[in-house]
Amino acid sequence: MSITFRKIYIPVITLLLAGAAHTQPRRVITLGGALTETVAAFGLADRIVAVDVTSEYPEAIRKLPKVSRNRSVSAEGLMAFRPDLVLAPYGDVPYGVVQALKGAGIRFVAIRQDFSAKGALAFIRDVGKALGMKDRAAQLADETGIRIEQALQTVEAADKSPTVLFIYARGTGTMTVAGGGSNMDALIHLAGGRNAIREFNQFKTYNTEALVNANPDVILMFDFGMESLGGRKGVLGMPGVAFTNAGKHQRIVALDGPLMINFATRLDRAILSLHRELVKGEE
């Protein structure tokens, strides 16, 4: 009798453990705007219990508590929300915090993000895998891929490729420009533009000499960045802007920041939003 019981019992335990590995989380913390948007796109916005300061979409997300006032997090601050899953961009959370979470039995998943069309689809699949929703992830990635392809076809139909300088601003005291290999560099290219900065990669501090030498056709900013500089008039009045093609033709573009750096389910919208602004002055 005991032998028969063991033969049945062991496979049942195995099945239970296998099923537990794919159980959808009930309480999720997302530490990145793209992660938050993607979890919401899976229909699990109501399971997100806390987010980081970069998470602003969908609108309801803004009402959720923030795990910190800046981008740094602590194990205690995260555990206070009793999550069973914490999602974060790869490399953003310190090793000690990750180990503390795992020691408390909290699942932690770090997800890499490649700033490309293919990278966006891989990102969606990786998030879906972490959520235990691989089938839905494949479907969502396919749907997103179709929309991105349509957006890229629209871009390819245009015959202009203006140079674009992206400036990240939080007031005049905090300004950087995007070089090669950055998320904004990738988006500019996908939208049919050319990055005016070619001398360096990622982001570097803004200065007037670099602006004049780059001589962009378009100056691109996040909407909150332009507001911090006094709006369009404030940007046009910045030293050196009047000497650039962008300044001469008043081609200053401000777009929604979270949308521009999403590189996930809304990438098609980001591409088309920027593309429309780039071709507007070329018509």
pLDDT in tens, 143-198: 999 999 999 999 999 988 999 999 999 887 889 999 999 999 999 999 999 999 98
pLDDT at 208 over 80: yes
pTM summary value: 0.88
pLDDT in tens, 88-111: 999 999 999 999 999 999 999 999
In CATH, the architecture of 160-280 is 3-Layer(aba) Sandwich (3.40)
pLDDT at 250: 96
Confidence of residue 283 (pLDDT cuts 50, 70, 90): low
Cβ neighbours for 135, distance < 8 A, ≥ 6 positions apart? none
pLDDT at 18: 37
Please report, as a single letter, which amino acid is at residue 239: P
pLDDT at 70 over 80: no
Domain residue extents for the chain = 2-111, 160-280
**What separation in angstroms does the CA of 54 have from each of 1, 17, 28, 70, 130?**
59, 35, 16, 9, 20
- Two domains, one topology: 2-111 and 160-280: yes
CATH 3.40.50.1980 for the 2-111 domain, yes or no: yes
pLDDT at 82 over 60: yes
pLDDT at 183: 94
